[in-house]
Structure 1
Amino acid sequence: MTQQWSTPGWALPVALALGVLLLAALVATGLALRGVRRSAARAEAEARTATVQLRERLEVLERRVVALDAPARARAAEEEFVITHLGADDAVDETTARADGTSPAARPDAPLFADLVLRESVVQAASLAAGVRRALGPEVRHRVRLEMRREVKRARKQRRTDQREARRAAQARQRAGLDLSREPAA
């Protein structure tokens, strides 16, 4: 008793070739993934060492600031602070007064100024990113698309109207020119 195969003769070699290609693709993907993992691990290790170094520098700077700021804190504890000079006769010192009668604004220290600038920059960048994200959202794109379609339709309609008016005016001028040439000269 002989068996008859219902599949064509080329099906088995094609299936084997596809299996080999699939296996090769899996091996290549695995190797690529291993390389990506290694580079990610290296980058993570570098980031951790940089973080440790930055923390150490920050601690050193904090110790310096505390050491420099200690005498000022002691003086500040002894002094009495006045929030406003409202009603006081010597509210504006003549040496710091300006010509228009106002006193100059107090200037913040360099670290405080840098902190303020950095915070404001971060807030502006975040608001810009939020605005861009909102502007590129599907609802806004859809609304812009609809408005553009309306504007294109309006412009086409206006062009057709202008063409009709120009055609009518040209025909009226032509008729007027013909009518003048038909009248006898007096």
Structure 2
Amino acid sequence: MPSAKSSSDALPPRERILVAAHALFYQEGIRATGVDRIIEQACVSKVTFYRQYPSKDELIRAYLEYRHGMWMSWFETSLRHALGQGESAAQALSTTLRGWFSRADFRGCAFLNAAAELGSSDPEILKVVRQHKQEMASVLDSLLTGDATPVGPALSLVIDGAIVHAQMGQPLDDVMDAFNATAAAVLQQ
């Protein structure tokens, strides 16, 4: 997945704040990242920050929308590329996930992390997370199963399990072996 921190200095303040928040929220956690740290990273004043995002909650929702757009674009492009290289549906999904899990900046699913951090205190976060997961399932159905029985929701569960195990530091080969076996079984339904 592409990094959001590319040439952010040339961006308008609102986008600089969003790019800084994206990097910090994903790498350090939403609750662990204070507004002052985002302001410093974005090189904006407090007045500018609050003019753009009147509350941290508003920034969190903007971060999740931003992350959703970036991640879904990357996910779909990566799957299409692997499928275009002649990989089976299971292989394409495995290639895509292995590439993501192998990144030095991988810290799990931003949406699962947000749900774990804030879901009990902010139902709107859970709504955003559910929408992200539903769209991921739709992409899986459209790219991997076509007119066959939809398996996107089942594959989403398998993917989320693999994400959690990879994030916990399980050996990547073990995670991918278990993922591949389970995904293949789901796709054969």
TM-score by length of 1: 0.20
Higher relative contact order (CA 8 A, sep 6+): 2
Give 1 or 2 for the bigger CA radius of gyration: 1
